Amino acid sequence: MEHAGVLGEGKAGCSALATVGVLSMPRGDFPTADDALLVAWIGMAAFAVYGVALTVAARSYWFRTRPISGVPVNAE
């Protein structure tokens, strides 16, 4: 069965199925398929943390730069 690897679409689903043994993970450049699976999970976790941090930063910036209601923007 052909499926996406570490960088393909459906990373979480493919990795989850490979973890429980439904799919086999291709070795790629790693010594074993288990090493490739470990790298896939670590990579997904790292980018998930990075994505959450970017979301928090964007929301914080949005709150700090929005106009405050009731105060005119061009007050002199």
pLDDT category of residue 59 using cuts at 50, 70 and 90 = very high
pLDDT of residue 24: 74
Amino acid sitting at position 10? G
| 2 φψ region: left (φ > 0), alpha (ψ -120 to 50), beta (else) | beta
Greater model confidence, 29 or 53: 53
pLDDT of residue 1: 43
Nearest to 28 by CA among 10, 8, 42: 8
When the pLDDT of each residue in the chain is averaged and rounded to a whole number, the result is 78
pLDDT of residue 55: 95
